[in-house]
Amino acid sequence: MATLYLIFIIFLGGAILTYYAGKLGSVLQDIIFLATILGATSLFYAGVHINDFMSFNPGGITLTWGINYFGWLFSLIVLGLGSLAAVYSVGYMKGKKRRGYFYFNFILSIMAMLGILVSQDLISFFIFWEIMTWSSYLMVIYNGKDDQKLGLKYFIFSAIGAYAMLMAIVMVHSVTNTFLIGNMIEAYPQMSLSWQIWIPILFLTAFGVKAAMMPLHVWAPGAYSSSPMAYTSVFSGALSKMGIYGMVIILVTMISHLPQGIWFRETLAWLGGLTAALGTLWAIKQDDAKKLLAYSSIAQLGYIITGVAIGTELGLLAGLFLAVMHALFKGTLFMVVGAIEKQTGTTNFTEVTGLIRKMPWTFFSALLAIIALAGIPPLGGFVGKWMLYEALITSNHYLLVILIFFASTAAFLYCYKFLFGFFMGQEEKEWEHVKEAPATMVVPMVLMALFMAVLGSWPGIILNPINNGLVDLGFVSTYKHLWDTSILFNSWGNQVVLKPLLYSVVAIFVFFAIVLIWKGFKGTRYVSTKDISSSGEVPGENENLTFSLGFAQPFLRAVGPVMKRQIDRYYTEFADGLESFFEFLRRIYTGNGQTYAIYVFVFVVIVLLFKDVLF
């Protein structure tokens, strides 16, 4: 079991070494960085046994570390995505400043996330949680320009969550006298009702912030878009999942014991649904790919929250499967944006167009990721969506399913916007020099894209670990044997046999593609995108006709009333109000010695007057 120690030592030592190795040469730095992440990852999967726990007592507090099946499932996201993103980072960070800073925080984030998963007690959970928060905060301000104080906003929201969690932790401690999660769960049913309600609320606040749940999501667009893309893929793909991880634990272990738990579930599920819908609408509005993906992440996390909140087995499976999928496709998409940013220097749809022929592999990964995101068969995204719908319908959430459907359909708009904005449209002279991204960046993207395709036909690869994890959480699995690698089942007994179905899709598609390509593609001539019919005129060389400004405006006009109010503004107003109140209070300190002397006497008089009450 000492392997776990060793892994954390590798992470910590690797982080520090990488930070200082920059002075010796960037190649060495890259090697140490990769060796740290990949070494720790392989050591984790080779040397750490599931359900093997160890304890130690720093500062008189018993801490227990070890991993169970549920944590193991999430470790796949963290370490899998983390490793690929690490490889990607090496290419992405080439020639950039502050590499040591980046690598240091990258490693610490991965370490912290793994730490969260192995923590079996609340204190180490909290410690790792906070390390995760500040290392990601440092990433958000990596660029050194914290416009509009995005980093600060992120940190404040994280801190609200963290303090809520800390409060819950000490409340639990005052009852159980230990910090072990197991003891908390055991003691929970015996607590008083108000505590039974408050403790989950406090925990869910913390997890809701990280999972970017409405109305705690306002930090996410800024934070996701301003940290370096190589990190954002982990930030959005894996780090947000820690919120989901915690949420599932709380939902399953606490709320299911609570008679009022239904209200928690419904509220959470609806919040998830609203997050999905509004996140989608805001994503459509964005002209910057980073912002678009950031809002899309919020929306996707909304689906996941809805899935896990409804709490039936199908719902949890759907939510967790979507979580894995989201890590894959959003990780890929942020990497795509990073590649484009690196090659062109901008991520704005109104500036860069027509990259499809210049960056074909990037396009390929983006295409598969978008298909998965949109939930279109035959990629894995559909499996998750299907299970989510079935779970919602079979658990009688009829209006919620409409909301989710609305969100998923509207998501097509931003999916198209993403693909169209970057890769389609007219090819401009300005971007003629653009080349495909280096191999270290392309390979991770393509690998993830292919894995998504595999999951579309064989979702059992992920469903089985999910099921193990749920059993570990004490969830009674009634028909888990039916979760074959290629069959999906809902509780009404409808089943989707994915293999033959999807084979046929693929077969038909390949048939059409081959027939058409065989006959036509070689025989036809490529003409540039300037050679088009445009009201009878042919656009000139420097006329860019690409439709990118005001994209999907009619739709936005139609949903205008919903988007009129931004919750962000309320927060800002609230904060401003607080600050003016503080300013008012600050004036108690007048700077005048006489007033201070008067304060002393007033204090004495008041205390003397009320001495019988006070003492």
Partner 1 sequence: MELFINILGAIVTFLVAFIVGMTYGGLNRKITARVQNRKGPPFYQNFIDAFKLSSKETAIHHGIMHYLGPAFLMVSSVMTLLIVPVFTNNGWFPNLNFKGDLIFLIYIMTFGPLGMALGSGQTGNPNAAIGVTRGLSQMVGFEIPWVMALIALMIQYHTTSIEGLMEAQAQTGTWFMFSSPFAFIAAILAMFGMFRYSPFDIVSAPTELASGPASENGGKYLFVMMSSGSVFTFAKLTLYVDLFLGGAANLPVLLLKTFALYLIPILYGMTTPRYRTEQAIRWFWGWPSFFGLLAIIQAVIL
Partner 2 sequence: MVGTPVLFIAIPLLAAFLIPLLGMIWKELVRIVPGLVLIYLLILAVNLLDHVMVHGPIIEIIAGWAPPIGINLVFSAFSGFLVTIMIFLGLLIWLYSYRFKKNVGYEPAKKYFLLLMMLITGSVGIVLTGDIFNMFVFIEITGISAYGLTAFYTGRDSAEASFKYLMLGSIASTFLLLAIMIIYSQLGTLNMADIANRIHTMNPTYKIISLIFFITALGIEAEIFPLNGWAPDAYSEAPGPVGAAFAGIVVKASVYAIIRYIFTIFDVDGAFNFLIIIGMLTLIIAEMAAIRQEKLKRMLAYSSIGQMGLVLVAFGFGTEEGVYAALFLMLNHAIIKSLLFFSGSYLVYNSKDKLIAEMNGLGKKLPITSFLFALGAFAIIGLPPFAGFWSKLSVLTAAADKNMIFIMSLILFVSLIELVYYLRVVNRLYNSKEKASSIEVKKPTANALITMLVLGGLILLIGFYPDVVTGVLHKASAALMDKSQYIHNVLSINQ
Q: Annotate each residue in 472-511 with x if it binds partner 1 (CB under 8 A) or - if it does not, as one string.
A: ------------------x-x-xxxx--xx--xx--xx--
Contact status: 547 vs partner 1 (CB under 8 A): yes
Which C-beta is closer to partner 1: that of 245 or that of 382?
A: 382
Q: Which does 292 bind (CB under 5 to 8 A by kind): partner 2, partner 1, none?
A: none
Q: Which of 23, 174, 493, 520 binds partner 2 (CB under 8 A)?
A: 174
Q: Within a 10 A sphere around the Cβ of 346, how many other Cβ atoms?
A: 14
Contact status: 549 vs partner 1 (CB under 8 A): no
The span of 138-146, 229-237, 244-252, 310-318 binding partner 2 (CB under 8 A) equals: 138-146
Give me the phi and psi of 375, to 5 degrees please: 75, 30
> For residues 51 and 120, what is the distance between their CA atoms, to the nearest angstrom?
11
317 token code pair: 């499976």
Contact status: 167 vs partner 2 (CB under 8 A): yes
Which C-beta is closer to partner 1: that of 9 or that of 558?
A: 558
- Asked if 149 contacts 158 with a C-beta cutoff of 8 angstroms, the reply is no
Q: Which of 58, 95, 523, 554 binds partner 2 (CB under 8 A)?
A: 58
> For residues 1 and 5, what is the distance between their CA atoms, to the nearest angstrom?
8
Half-sphere exposure in the Cβ direction for 197 (13 Å, CA): 7
Give me the phi and psi of 327, to 5 degrees please: -60, -40
Contact status: 505 vs partner 2 (CB under 8 A): no
Q: Which of 6, 76, 152, 187 binds partner 2 (CB under 8 A)?
A: 152
> For residues 313 and 248, what is the distance between their CA atoms, to the nearest angstrom?
12
Long-range contacts of 27-34 (CB under 8 A, 24+ apart): 29/99, 29/100, 29/103, 30/90, 33/86, 33/89, 33/90, 33/103, 33/106, 33/107, 34/86, 34/87, 34/90
Which C-beta is closer to partner 2: that of 547 or that of 581?
A: 581
Site for partner 1 in 232-291 (CB under 8 A): none
Contact status: 520 vs partner 2 (CB under 8 A): no
404 token code pair: 């989710």
Contact status: 159 vs partner 1 (CB under 8 A): no
Site for partner 2 in 271-330 (CB under 8 A): none
Q: Within a 10 A sphere around the Cβ of 376, how many other Cβ atoms?
A: 16
Q: Which of 222, 425, 444, 456 binds partner 1 (CB under 8 A)?
A: 425
Q: Residue 228, SS3? A: coil
**Number of residues in contact with partner 1, rule: CB under 8 A?**
76
Contact status: 538 vs partner 1 (CB under 8 A): no
Beta strands in 87-210 (DSSP E): none
Contact status: 160 vs partner 2 (CB under 8 A): yes
Q: Which does 433 bind (CB under 5 to 8 A by kind): partner 1, partner 2, none?
A: none
Q: Residue 496, SS3? A: strand
Q: Which of 416, 431, 489, 571 binds partner 1 (CB under 8 A)?
A: 416
Which C-beta is closer to partner 1: that of 91 or that of 354?
A: 354
Site for partner 2 in 60-119 (CB under 8 A): 60
Closest CB 483 distance from partner 2, rounded Å: 39
Which C-beta is closer to partner 1: that of 210 or that of 530?
A: 530
Residues in CB range of 23: below 8 A, 6 or more apart: none
Closest CB 129 distance from partner 2, rounded Å: 8
Give me the phi and psi of 534, to 5 degrees please: -140, 90
Helices (H), 286-428: 289-310, 313-344, 360-374, 380-394, 398-423
Which C-beta is closer to partner 1: that of 81 or that of 410?
A: 410
The span of 5-13, 438-446, 466-474, 551-559 binding partner 1 (CB under 8 A) equals: 551-559
Site for partner 1 in 355-374 (CB under 8 A): 356-357, 367, 374
Gyration radius (Cα) of the chain, Å: 26
Closest CB 242 distance from partner 2, rounded Å: 15
In DSSP notation, 553-606 reads HHHHHHTHHHHS--HHHHHHHHHHHHHHHHHHHHTT--S-HHHHHHHHHHHHHH
Contact status: 446 vs partner 1 (CB under 8 A): no
Binding footprint of partner 2 on the chain (CB under 8 A): 58-60, 123, 126-127, 130-131, 133-134, 141, 144-147, 149, 151-152, 155-156, 159-160, 163-164, 166-167, 170-171, 173-174, 579, 581-583, 585-586, 588-591, 593, 595-597, 599-600, 602-604, 607-608, 611, 614-615
